[in-house]
A and B are shown apart, each in its own frame.
Chain A
Amino acid sequence: MVATATHCSYCALQCGMTLSPSVDGTVTVRPRDFPTNRGGLCQKGWTAADLLTSPQRLTTPLVRDGRAKDLRPASWDEALDIVADGVRATRRAHGADAVAVLGGGGLTNEKAYQLGKFARVALRTKNIDYNGRYCMSSAAAASNRAFGIDRGLPFPLTDLARTGAVLIAGGNVAETMPPFMQHLAAVRDRGGALVVADPRRTATVDQATLHLPVMPGTDLALALGLFHLAVTDGHVDRAYVADRTTGFEAAWRAAAQWWPERVERVTGVPVTAQRAAVRALADGARGDGAVILTARGAEQQSKGTDTVTALINLALALGLPGRPNSGFGCITGQGNGQGGREHGQKADQLPGYRRIDDPASRAHVASVWGVDADDLPGPGPSAYELIESLGTDGGPRALLVHGTNVVVSSPRGRRVMERLAALDLVVVCDLVPSETAELADVVLPVTQWAEEDGTMTNLEGRVIRRRKAVEPPPGVRTELEVLAGLAERLGHGERFGTDPEQVFDELRRASAGGVADYSGITWERIDADGGVFWPCPGPGHPGTPRLFADGFPTPDGRARFVTVDHRPVAEDVDADHPVYLTTGRVLQQYQSGAQTRRVPSLAAAAAEPHVEIHPDLAGRSGLSDGDLVRVVSRRGDAVGRVRLTTAIRADTVFMPFHWGGEQAVNRVTNPALDPVSRMPEFKVCAVRLERVVS
């Protein structure tokens, strides 16, 4: 059979790989020399094809004849009729906003676009948001207000290898996207600096030249302190600040209150380490370049937007954005986290990264969709707020879920389950029976990655092609087909095609003139060039690998320092809950684990969640290595296995979030939201530890 060049099914690195199906139905994965992975793959990538033939694969629609009944197989017509009837009945009784939609950052651009359009045109609901709210929303909000645009990396990843210094705030790429490390290793091998701020001594920290061991929830104070030192130690690029930015004075005034000794007391990061970090970045800025990157550690906090902003302020003070091999970037997490937030599944946005409350944007998109702009709904609530409102008075009564496993990935997970249970209709599209699918009234089996065509936009803003390598199992449909089937039943059939390339062409038109302008990108061009960077406004445009060289897409062309100040964590430790909990990932699992837990070799390598505990804390809590421990917060509890390590602070435990049920740490986490991005505070809350006696 023919080998197909495509990209990995998982994270935003979108490693290039080649899939070779054999006659027995198995598919062999080989890495490809693509700029992001340069021939590397992690364990998840190597085994990505195992899920194609998983016996746990859903291949027929399932419906439930009442909540107390089990799911039973059904025909597509029956299942789609149930959904369409349910939607109509809900709308009749409670209005259009009573139907809600949750999307995902793993959906292709075509699916994300079509889902947003389906919600606004076929359902006419304002209630749509997606799991990227839990992912990049803080960095996106901070980038938008500073630069007027949000693209994870404003330069190709390969630029990173040529820079002189990198600071990663709250990121563990050695575990989450291992081939990324090659680019960082190149910096280090040339004598450059790799500085990592993290409460844990992670696999990434092990390869760093300097570790800033920041106390959970104090990254913002650290960032303000680094900015402070850049000023007092004379590292500010005054000419850059004067020529290319606004707002320095006010931002400095807030940071002036964060002198290094005060920062040390709040964050635990020694003054000398703070100073060394700033010096490394400043030396880089004067030499080969310097890059500041953030990831979920700094972002998934109730002050994540301000934390990222403070780091952008540091980058601006050092004169980095727009300079060669320099700048600020966010390390996008989900496979299509970037594209997924650009084309309309975010509560406040329309395709092309347009604001849904902007009349001109509404008019443009409505004309592409062939509807009246006045009929488009306005902005809806963010993901967690939407979930909180499900089944409440005046809240949605029906929910469609695409590409997300919310009962595992949302904070305060048991509350999420209660909200789903309060609905009249829950519809889940998935390829496996995820924890969320198990709660659904209707489950629709959909194609996965290697069974479909489409585009993804990787962490660099490079639009790439996902190519079909194998036929899907009989009985499985694409999400475009599902949406078309529903739209037809709801009287909008003609607006929702099933050919992904045609959907992409419509997306191009809808995005034209927007911030994320894809109008010049075609599948043909992507195939010929290996990818095209947006913005690409028009057929002759070469695409934009590097942003900001000539200015910022703000009204005055300048980047904005935004004034921010530190504030405490939403929930601090006390006598009943004396330990901080922080959460994150392990190498062998991806997101809620719905897929990777079903890959046998990954499941074997990381079968259950562990709880990282410092030996001192374990000893004082009566815990030994290998014990089961219950991690308890005010909201719920989760059970994991004790793993002793000195790589974590003695006042903090760590637990990965890839498992469901009693093993779901998001039953414990805090839904306190960032006031700007509406990102929950996943990264820090107060817990106590209880030994589980078996």
Chain B
Amino acid sequence: MAGARFVQELRARDPRRRFEITVLGAEREAAYNRVLLSSVLAGSLTPAEIETVPSAWYAAEDVELRTGIEVAMVDRRRRRVLTSGGEHIGYDRLVLATGSRAWVPPIDGLVRDDGELDEDVVVFRTLSDCRAMLARLGRVRRAVVLGGGLLGLEAARGLAGRGVEVEVVHPADRLMERQLDLDAGRVLARTLRSLGVRVRLGAQAVSYDEGPCGRGLVLDDGARVPADLLVVACGVRPNTGLAAAARLKIGRAIVVDDRLTSVTDPLIHAIGECAQHAEQVYGLVAPAWEQAAVLADVLTDGTARYAGSQVVTRLKAADVDLAAMGDTDVDDLDEELEVLRFADPARGTYQKIVIRDERVTGAIMLGGPETVGTVTQLFDRAALVPLDRRALIFPGVSDAGGPSDPADLPDDHTVCRCNGVSCGRVREAAEAGARSVADVAATTRATTGCGGCRADVAAVLAAARPADRAVEATVEVPA
């Protein structure tokens, strides 16, 4: 996704097509939107619908697109790459957007002797993984998802929505432990259970093998979880093999500076999940797109520099509303911090907001979605939080008062906005003999605009003329 985005960003800044661009992709497919894989799994989108840039776009923009081509080696000295097909392709600038791959833990039964995944094991990473899973759906009754992180839970929810019995097996003491605290993890597990996803925490898998009642995942406590499909979602590893072989500096990923340029070679750049900037390796699409834009600007002599990304993690799973951002695993008693918390586990709600210097530095928003947009934007923009902190969790709570009985409104209250008529004038009209809303309208014009105040005017009138209450009990609706 980073690569395709970068090409689009570069062409947008290069209308005269100064750059000759060649795109090499190992996957057979043109670029697609990985964020939407969970929608494909859930069945709401077809694989064709998540293609981001059609092949025709590349042709129209004069970009050479070559899919199904793997690069075997980068020859920095001669400024060229060697494909696995033995072809040399020269470059002035090389952008590595090699992404990452699913990590498969060393557990017996996951990988066959030839190094390929076992036929009942899938990872959830690429469109072809997704297709593989979909192709098997008809034959799968029980699936286990190994790993309770973001991708694992999206896969689990997707499979459950397809009618598969699903259990998530997760080694940590909570789901999504990188984003959630213990309580949030518990509430999330409860929500998932209600959607048909079982969750088993603190469980180490030992092997995946054939038992008397079919295949199953064996855990370190000896338990056996039946599974005719095992989805491995244990995290990813950046694809840095090429860069390492070319002796670029690698940390957890390819080390780049603020210009997204390798610190080893000024002609080589890295963006997306294979890049490491300021000790950070990002695994989400938003940072990759931000990097793509910055690099396109850098290569077209712009002044943009990458300063890191604010990360908001958003679980994409039907009927589960979860956003997590910043640092939330904090000491509640830290005097530098304000920690707001609201939990209603029975309704799947847990919200925690961490504030430092009047700014949101971390938040978990689970199941209570009304303020999630507000909190996310405050976090993104480092904007000042509301003076009444409750407004971050309960929308509208700080708005003054609720609706009161119109009859009690003061004389100077405007009851009809369209014609600027106060309660006092309605009462004067009543005093002068008005017996109906129509009478009031005739003298004050109240209710003759949008008509929305008719009931209020009737109430004020009725209270001002108690004897007429029976007459005014029915409120006419405008014709």
Interface residues of A (CB under 8 A from B): 31, 38-43, 46, 174-175, 178-182, 185, 189, 203, 207, 213, 215, 231-234, 250, 252-253, 256-257, 259, 261-262, 264-265, 267-273, 587-588, 601, 605, 615-616, 619-620, 646, 650-651
Contact = CB atoms under 8 A, between A and B. Distances in A.
Given A46-B445, A269-B373, A646-B399, A182 B49 contact: no
Contact of A605 (B373, B377, B420, B479): B420
A40 B384 contact: no
A174 B45 contact: no
Given A179-B449, A256-B36, A646-B398, 5 more contacts: A43-B420, A259-B35, A262-B35, A270-B370, A272-B370
B36 A259 contact: yes
Contacts of A619: 387
Contacts of A31: 448
B387 A207 contact: no
Given A40-B449, A646-B398, A203 B417 contact: yes
A257 B52 contact: yes
B448 A232 contact: no
A271 B372 contact: yes
14 contacts: A39-B478, A42-B419, A43-B418, A174-B417, A178-B450, A215-B377, A250-B54, A261-B314, A261-B323, A264-B372, A265-B312, A268-B373, A270-B369, A616-B387
Contact of B449 (A41, A259, A272): A41
B380 interface: yes
B33 A256 contact: yes
B39 interface: yes
Contact of A181 (B33, B39, B451): B451
A38 B452 contact: no
A180 B374 CA distance: 31
Given A215-B377, A616-B387, A40 B369 contact: no
A259 B386 contact: no
Given A232-B44, A253-B51, A588-B420, A174 B370 contact: no
Give the residue among B370, B383, B417, B450 with the most A Cβ atoms within 10 A.
B450
A405 to B, nearest CB: 24
Contacts of A270: 369-373
B242 to A, nearest CB: 28
B225 interface: no
Interface string B298-336: 000000000000001010100001010000000000000
A43 B314 contact: no
Given A264-B372, A587-B417, A182 B45 contact: no
A231 B35 CA distance: 15
Contacts of A264: 314, 372-373, 376
Contacts of A646: 398-400
A650 B417 CA distance: 25
Contacts of A181: 449-452
A272 B321 contact: yes
A283 B266 CA distance: 56
Given A257-B52, A271-B372, A233 B44 contact: yes
B312 A43 contact: no
B45 A268 contact: no
B286 interface: yes
Contacts of B369: 270-273
A232 B45 contact: yes
B432 interface: no
Contacts, number: 134
Contact of A40 (B33, B51, B451): B451
Contacts of B399: 646
Main secondary structure of the interface of A (DSSP, over half): helix
Contacts of B371: 270
Interface residues of B, number: 48
B478 A38 contact: yes
B470 interface: no
A20 to B, nearest CB: 15
Interface in B438-479: 445, 448-452, 477-479
Contact of A265 (B377, B383, B448): B377
Given A185-B450, A616-B387, A42 B372 contact: no
A265 B316 contact: no
Contacts of A39: 448, 478-479
B65 interface: no
Contacts of B376: 264-265, 268
Give the residue among B53, B372, B384, B386 with the most A Cβ atoms within 10 A.
B372
B188 to A, nearest CB: 16
B203 interface: no
B50 interface: yes
Contact of B448 (A40, A207, A651): A40
Contacts of B445: 41, 43, 46
Nearest to B372: A270
B44 A178 contact: no
A185 B452 contact: yes
Contacts of B417: 174-175, 178, 203, 587
A37 B440 CA distance: 19
A42 B449 contact: yes
A312 B418 CA distance: 31
Contact of B39 (A213, A232, A253, A587): A232
Contacts of A253: 51-54
A270 to B, nearest CB: 5
Contacts of B450: 40, 42, 174, 178-182, 185, 207
A354 to B, nearest CB: 32
A306 B451 CA distance: 34
A175 B448 CA distance: 13
Contacts of A175: 417
Contacts of B400: 646
A615 B51 CA distance: 46
Nearest to B420: A605
Given A261-B314, A264-B376, A267-B373, A182 B451 contact: yes
| Minimum-distance CB pairs A-B, first 7 | A181-B450, A178-B449, A261-B314, A268-B373, A178-B450, A178-B418, A42-B449
Interface string B275-304: 000000000001000000000000000000
Interface in B49-77: 49-54
A252 B36 CA distance: 13
A560 B312 CA distance: 36
Contacts of A605: 420
